[in-house]
Amino acid sequence: MLLQRINPHVVTASLFASISATFVIGLIGLAMNWWTQPETAFERVISTTSGVVALTVSVALAAIVLKWRKIQLIAAFLVCLLALHSLLVTFSINHIFFLGWLSRMDAYFYPPVAILFIILGSCLAMSPEQRLQRLWQRALALVMLAVAFLFLVLHIIPNGFMLLGPHPAVTSIAGLVIFLVSISLLLVSLIPTKLIAFPSPKAMWLGFIAVFLTCGTWYYLSYENIRSVQLQAQTDLDKIARARQQMVSVNIQLMERMVERWQLNDLKMLDDAQKNDINSYLRDIPHLLNLTLLDQERQRRWQQGNDNSNVSSSHFGSPEVQNWLNQPHQTTELFIPESTFRGMATPLAYMILPVDYSDSSNGYLLATYDFNRLLNPDTRMLPESLKIYIQLSTDAVTSFDESKPYHRNELRLAKTVLTLPQGPSLPMFASLYSFDDLVANANLRIMIAFLGLTFSLLFMLMYEQNRQLQVHSLRLQDIQRRLRTQRHALKTSEQRYRSLFEQNPDAVFSLDPDGHFVAVNQAVVELLDASAEEIIGVHFQRFVEDDDIERIGMLFQNVLAGRSQRYEARCRDIHGIHLDLDIINLPIVIDGEIIGTYGIAKNITQRKQQDEHLQLLQRSVDHSVNGIVIADAVQADMPIVYINKAFERMTGYNKVDVIGRNCRFLQGSETSPEAVQALRHAISRQEEVRVQLINYRKSGERFWNELFISPVRNDQNVVTHYIGVQHDVSQQVANKKKLAFNATRDGLTGLANRNALETAIADLVKQHRADLDENILATLFIDLDGFKPVNDTLGLEVGDAILIEVAHRLQSTFCHQEVISRFGGDEYVVVISHLQKITDLTELVFEALTSIGEPYEVTAGQKIYLTASIGVALYEPDVKYPLELIQRADIAMTRAKQYGHNHFQFYSADASARFQADIVLRSQFQQALDDEELELHYQPIYQLATGRIVGVEALMRWQLADGRNVSPAEFIPLAETTGQIIPASEWALDRACRDSKRLQEFGDLTVAVNVSALQFHRAEFLDYIMETLQRHDLSPRTIELELTESVLMDNTDYAIALLRKLRQTGLQIALDDFGTGFSGLSYLKQLPVTKLKIDQAFTQGIHSHESDEAITRGIIAMAKQLGITTVAEGIENAEQQQTLLELGAELGQGYYFARPMPFDQLVEFIKSANR
């Protein structure tokens, strides 16, 4: 009975009001806390925790309505969790379970409220769809309703709210919202779950606006009330502070005037007049406890006071007071001992004043005050609702209002600083002590909120009831309208049936249950070629072919059983002529009884014949080897209406993919626009057309399609369709292209071959000779540096992969207008004809060098580094034949290699001549190697501090047969370019080892031998060095290998590892020309070198350039830090020697000591030096 009385609209309205109220209160609370950033609990109308709980409750209630079970449980759990957190922290249970970190979170709820929220969370977790949980939800809702009512009643009892929260504004709205939510949950538990829903959207908007205005008004009034109380407290506190400051100032003035009077009257210490003054002050100033006269050593000479408890006297000797007294005091000072604030009934204040007596003795007057009475002589200034505190330190706090005992709901409202004259500045704050006015205002606001929420609820109910009445009214009007429509339909039904029967172009008839014709229309008469009288009353089997009578009879019985049928029948007219009919049979039902059948027949004799013909044609087309496609020319965009199986095999598309689409979907990015245009032109002229074009299969694979399209015309010579015949000619086209490609392309890289290059360069030269092109015509001859060792060591497969990658990089660097050719082996030729400026050409060459110089990853984790040398030749009028450009570029490339790898050179006539000279010099150098005409000269290396020879450096020299000396700067780079440096270096090492053996008789002299980077990176270098030393029976410590930083340029990690192996054998390693190479300091700390040789460029400029001296000093200092010996090269005078010695250089060599000399002269030189 109770469930029947509850209006579902009341439940939905109360639920939505609860959701809106909790949501708005939570949202406003969080937003205002974020906006105002309240510092104290009093300033928070709604705490952040309360706002989160309110929003979570609104989510849980909404989830109950929407039946979002998971969200309901999560929200309910969060409500319980927040409430449980407050209980744990409040009762310090969190510390028992080692959860101290929970204390860092705001535990805002008092235990009764926290317990109620746990009950609320449990109630929200219950599912109304389960009977047992509904009962629990109902019970918990009743408990919450009773507790919420009790909460509201506590606000009528004086200070009753203190059991629930910090101030009544918070606790009253909490009680009201829980009261409203409890009613909603109780109603939810009393009605079926299918009735739980939201009101209509318009009702929700109106209700939400009303709730928002109600809650917003309540929050605004509460916030303003709290702000006004806080501002008034701040004003009162500032007044009190000024009054206390003035009171202290007056007491200081009284004391200072008394001291001034003593000094003006030339009183001596302990005069009677002085004692009389002290007694009168003690009598007239009640908060003055005693006055003490101190001598210059701060010892008490005399004391008089009103302190019957002797508190001040007993505290006089405390360390805190004595420390303060023993400090120098030139003026009046005020001191408040912190210890009197703790454990004593009377906080004290000490004032000391210096006194100059007439007998030239100095002393002090010490006044002891009751601190509370000093600052609070008249309590009438203190409002009854406030309690004033003053703070000396974190632990030292006292109140003026001893009549007001402390209670836990005191809320700090205002603070200021009390600056005591001649004393410290003390924090001062006021707490709200009496809540009577606040409770009255909160109760008034909660009544307004209750009325507002009640109005919102009633407003939604009224709107829903009115809407429901309007719905019922519209429903009644609709029923009346349908009744009128049915009556009109009944009148016209018979006429419509007759018109449908008689005017239907198809044959329409009815049969009785026995199968006899009852009625036929004119179309039946014409179909059977008989009159209506000849047909009516005759059994339908009369017009059915004999072999089809049994099947038709079974279908007729199915119709009489109430199942409509559609079928094709083989029939005949009254003359026996064959007919194919498409028949629909429907049962005629009157008052639930089938009284016959109703039939509609369509003559499909001609269509059947056409279908047979089309099937024959389609079978023929389907088995064609060519793809056939038919498009409808009448419809927009000419959609495909037919494809055969050959088309499906050729394209990969099936009929579902194709039918209804235009043929252009087969085209793609590489389809020839000319071929497409030819197709469109022929279609627009309704002509036949044959084209070859690229189409795309469904897989994305392209294929060449030879397509023939022909228009199909109807009897009126109108094009209705287009038929397309397709043939896949991809293999034929590929073969044709391959033949053309192989004739002009390199088989490995796909670049132009030599024939194509010569043809292209001849055409370009011819064009420039005819002055038809103003651009530069340039030929680049590109040769890879060091490619042969890669081929030899890693194999031809890796070499081919690198050649292909170089081709790709050249194609990326140079635009498609340029001719790029593989000339042969690791040589490439590029012909550039689109540039107008040499600077642009230079930039392009630099790009090519950079691109080729990038690492080549030949296998996983292994990279090959290669560079290139490029020769550039520009077309000049003196070029006799086109291929001369390639020859000139080749000469320039060779010149580029002489300047080092990764370099380019422009062709010039002088360079050509020099090239010829280099060829001669190279031949002469090879002859000198073969005939052992090279020599080694030795330059001594000195210890700068002692002048003792400690080693020599072996230097290669070459004298021609005509007596001319060739400079090492000339033949060494040439030998490195040609590879002749390898046998030359091996000869030099062998000769140096032989001479080193002879030098051992002069002591432990080290022979330094220069090693080229090319020789260093040879695979057998380490084995060769050790084999040479063993052959000459030399200790590795007698030989020093001099290397330049260039050895690190190729495969730095390998070079460092090899150097470490050399050092492990005992060989000395010197780094030559340090500071001029590419690596410098970046690798020095990793190199296992024993000596650094400072380049002579720094040595010779050490006096003329401050930078050279700074660099030299830095190199020496750095070497010392790393434990490396330094050798200064190129010392030419004593000043340089002295400066280098002062900078810390250990060894040196140069013309100042001795020039390089043949070995025999060296032996004599060492002998004379030793003498």
Length of the chain equals: 1171
Q: What is the pLDDT of residue 424?
A: 87
- How many CB atoms are located within 10 Å of the residue 308 CB? 7
Give the CATH fold of the 504-607 domain: Beta-Lactamase (3.30.450)
* C-alpha to C-alpha distance for 1153 and 1162, rounded to whole angstroms: 13
* C-alpha to C-alpha distance for 634 and 712, rounded to whole angstroms: 11
* C-alpha to C-alpha distance for 1078 and 1081, rounded to whole angstroms: 9
Tell me which architecture the domain covering 745-907 has in CATH: 2-Layer Sandwich (3.30)
Q: What is the pLDDT of residue 1077?
A: 53
Contact of 775 with 895, CB cutoff 8 Å:
no
Q: What is the pLDDT of residue 27?
A: 84
Q: What is the full DSSP assignment across 536-551?
A: TTSBGGGGB-GGGHHH
Contact of 869 with 895, CB cutoff 8 Å:
no
Helix (H) / strand (E) containing 577: none
User: And the tokens for 114?
Assistant: 């926290």
Task: For the chain, give every residue range classified as CATH 3.30.70.270.
Answer: 745-907
Q: What is the pLDDT of residue 94?
A: 47
> Cα 987 to chain center, whole Å?
63
Q: What is the pLDDT of residue 740?
A: 65
CATH 3.30.450.20 assigned to 624-713: yes
Structure letter (DSSP) for residue 379: G
Q: How many CA atoms lie within 13 A of 1067 on its CB side?
A: 24
User: And the tokens for 32?
Assistant: 């205002």
Q: Is the entire prediction scored with pTM above 0.95?
A: no
Q: What is the pLDDT of residue 829?
A: 92
* C-alpha to C-alpha distance for 778 and 430, rounded to whole angstroms: 94
Q: What is the pLDDT of residue 951?
A: 92
Name the stretches of the chain with pLDDT < 50.
1-4, 94-96, 98, 100-103, 379, 913, 1078-1079
Strand 507-511 relative to strand 593-603, pairing: antiparallel
- How many CB atoms are located within 10 Å of the residue 1003 CB? 11
Task: For the chain, give every residue range classified as CATH 3.20.20.450.
Answer: 933-1170
Q: Kindly report the CATH number that applies to the domain delimited by 933-1170.
A: 3.20.20.450
> Cα 984 to chain center, whole Å?
60
Strand 1125-1128 relative to strand 1091-1094, pairing: parallel
Helix (H) / strand (E) containing 412: strand 411-419
* C-alpha to C-alpha distance for 165 and 178, rounded to whole angstroms: 15
Q: What is the full DSSP assignment across 1011-1072?
A: --HHHHTSTTHHHHHHHHHHHTT--GGGEEEEE-GGGGSS-HHHHHHHHHHHHHTT-EEEEE
Q: What is the pLDDT of residue 414?
A: 82
Q: What is the pLDDT of residue 857?
A: 83
> Cα 882 to chain center, whole Å?
58
Burial 1119-1153 (b: 16+ CB within 10 A, else e): beeeebbbbbbbbeeeebbebbeebebbbbbbebb
CATH 3.30.450 assigned to 231-432: yes
Measured in degrees and rounded to the nearest 5, phi and psi for residue 587 equal -75, 145
Helix (H) / strand (E) containing 824: strand 819-824
Q: Which of 1088, 1145, 1146 is nearest to 1122 (CA)?
A: 1088
